[in-house]
Amino acid sequence: MTSGPHTAEQPTLNKDVPWDSFDPGAYIGNNYLDMKTVDEEIVSRVRDHFSDRLRGSDRVLSGIDVGAGPNLYPSLAMLPWCRHITLLEWSANNIEYLQRQLPGYEGHWEQFWKVLREGPAYEGLNPRTLFRDAAHPVRGSLFDLCHTERRWDVGTMFFVAESITESLEEFRRGVGCLMNALKPGAPFAAAFMEHSEGYRVGDLEFPATYDIDTDEVRAALQDFAHLDDVHRMADVGHLVRHGHTGMILVCGRRKE
Ligand SMILES: C[S@@+](CC[C@H](N)C(=O)[O-])C[C@H]1O[C@@H](n2cnc3c(N)ncnc32)[C@H](O)[C@@H]1O
């Protein structure tokens, strides 16, 4: 593992950041208005993972997307199996964004659904109706999941544990809190920025944990999960999510 510029003695912690000022419009403009190749790949892989692991299940499960932010594709990926999806999010602005999407989400999310519906489990579903009925934005913290008795059947966490703090200790704790919230055997998908130096949304800079690579991600998860696939995607030339070297997608299952 490499040591980077953000291994300072006083790393920025999750509590130090003005999350309520996160600008969902600016974030979507940077990341999700036009589907990037890397997100298309992530969506396809998550679709196939959930389709394999949840085959035969009716739409009765509970799902959770942790640090949902203004990204609907993780919850869209859970729709064929989940009657209830908790969208756990700490920023008031992002909660408000998610609530606005419930009656009918914005058109640019359709391009992600088109990738999902290439999987037979998604074919013929009405994602808008299912999303409206299943999705429940909830104001809360990833770290609260370390203390909850509640357990979910399926989970996602995209660009959160490493994108909310500079502290490696806090990153590891965050990953453990996600794992604590999953039932034994629950399939999950989680994505991480590799060696991110932080990111800008609108006028604000947000922290990231620099020392993240596939070894660190495996180490953070190994006590809790079977890792079906750890996939690194180099992101050279993708200037929007600046200052990182790639993305890591993990598809796995919570250990029994
Ligand atoms: C880089 S964004 C990722 C958003 C989204 N999951 C995605 O895939 O684009 C990080 C998100 O984590 C949220 N967040 C920050 N601290 C959090 C915490 N303690 N618990 C839950 N979410 C948090 C932020 O508000 C933001 O929405």
CA 27 to ligand 1 centroid distance, Å: 11
CA of 160 to the centre of ligand 1 (A): 5
- Coil vs helix vs strand at 76: helix
Mean pLDDT of 84-95: 98
Of the residues 19, 39, 173, 206, which should be mutated to test ligand 1's pocket, given the most ligand atoms within 8 Å of the CB? Answer: 19
- Residues 117-156, buried b or exposed e (16+ Cβ, 10 A)? bebebbeebebbebbeebbebeebbbbebeeeeebbbbbb
Within a 10 A sphere around the Cβ of 93, how many other Cβ atoms? Answer: 18
pLDDT, mean of residues 153-181 = 98
Mean pLDDT of 5-27: 89
What is the predicted pLDDT for the residue at 243? 76
Q: How many A from CA of 199 to the centre of ligand 1?
A: 12
Label residue 244 by pLDDT band (50, 70, 90). confident
Record the tokens describing residue 120, joined without a space: 């037979």
- For the segment 12-21, the average pLDDT, to the nearest whole number, is 98
Tally of CA atoms within 13 A in the half-sphere of 145 that contains its CB: 30
> CA-based diameter of the chain, in Å?
53
pLDDT for residue 107 is more than 80: yes
Contacts of 118 (CB under 8 A, 6+ apart): 44, 47
Which ligand 1 atom minimizes the distance to the CA of 69?
Answer: 27
Q: How confident is the model at residue 27 (pLDDT cuts 50, 70, 90)?
A: very high
Q: Whose CA is nearest to atom 12 of ligand 1?
A: 67
Alpha carbon 193 to its chain's center: 11
Domains of the chain: residue spans and CATH: 14-254 (3.40.50.150)
Cβ of 91 closer than 6 Å to ligand 1, yes or no, is yes
- Measured by CA distance, the residue closest to atom 3 of ligand 1 is 159
> How far is residue 38's CA from residue 11's CA, in Å, rounded to a whole number?
29
Residue 220: per-residue pLDDT = 98
Mean pLDDT of 87-95: 98
* Ligand 1 mutation pick, 39, 164, 204, max ligand atoms within 8 A of CB: 164
Beta bridge partners of 192: 248
Distance 120 CA to ligand 1 centre (A): 30
pLDDT at residue 1 in the model: 37
57, pLDDT greater than 80: yes
Which DSSP letter does residue 223 get?
Answer: T
Residue 23 has pLDDT above 60, yes or no: yes
Whether the predicted pLDDT of 8 surpasses 70: no
